[in-house]
Amino acid sequence: MANNSPTRRIWVLIAIIWLGTFLSCEKRSTKQIDPELASSGSAEITAQLVEIPGEFPANDFYNYAYVFKYRVLEVHRGQLNGGEVFVAHYNPLKPRLAAGDEFSGKIGGNLERFRSGQIHRMALEEPLDTYWMGGIIDKYFSQHGVRYWAVWTNRVGK
């Protein structure tokens, strides 16, 4: 077969189209967002966990929400200012996917354990009291600021 035959040109064209489609899909998948993040809560942010101010009590007898302080890196949805925000997580000793129950409502995400400095992408609701009726551990009580309720929490990066 000659190098410039029509059949060869067709195969080259097919290969180019396929390669282009493949690269395009790769690009989309790296930017693909967890649909739960996009569809949960009234706000969505990526933020860095500033610190863990105290020990998490065991869940032997009681459920509770624990307020964390985050540094906002990006606001994806909702009316949030940058800077720092306070976010309450339900029973933080538990992986997010296992944390939800009949008292918390929907809770989820791929975050397994909370560590200071982690970056989380979260779907949030507020005010906290409307979403959680139970004990709240808030070491930042004296600091003003809305307390958000984390509905879905994914870890970003390593």
DSSP 90-154: ESTTS-HHHH--TTT-S-B-S--S--TT-EEEEEEES-HHHH--SEEE-TTTTS-SPEEEEEEEE
Q: Does 36 bind other proteins (CB under 8 A)?
A: no
Give the Cα separation of 19 and 21 in Å (integer).
5
State the minimum distance, in angstroms, from the CB of residue 105 to other proteins. Answer: 9
Give whichever of 3 and 142 is closer to other proteins, judged by the CB atom.
Answer: 142
Tokens of 39: 């569809």
Site for other proteins in 116-155 (CB under 8 A): 129-139, 141-142
State the minimum distance, in angstroms, from the CB of residue 141 to other proteins. Answer: 3
Q: Does 4 bind other proteins (CB under 8 A)?
A: no
**Interacting residue ranges for other proteins, rule: CB under 8 A:** 60-64, 102-103, 129-139, 141-142
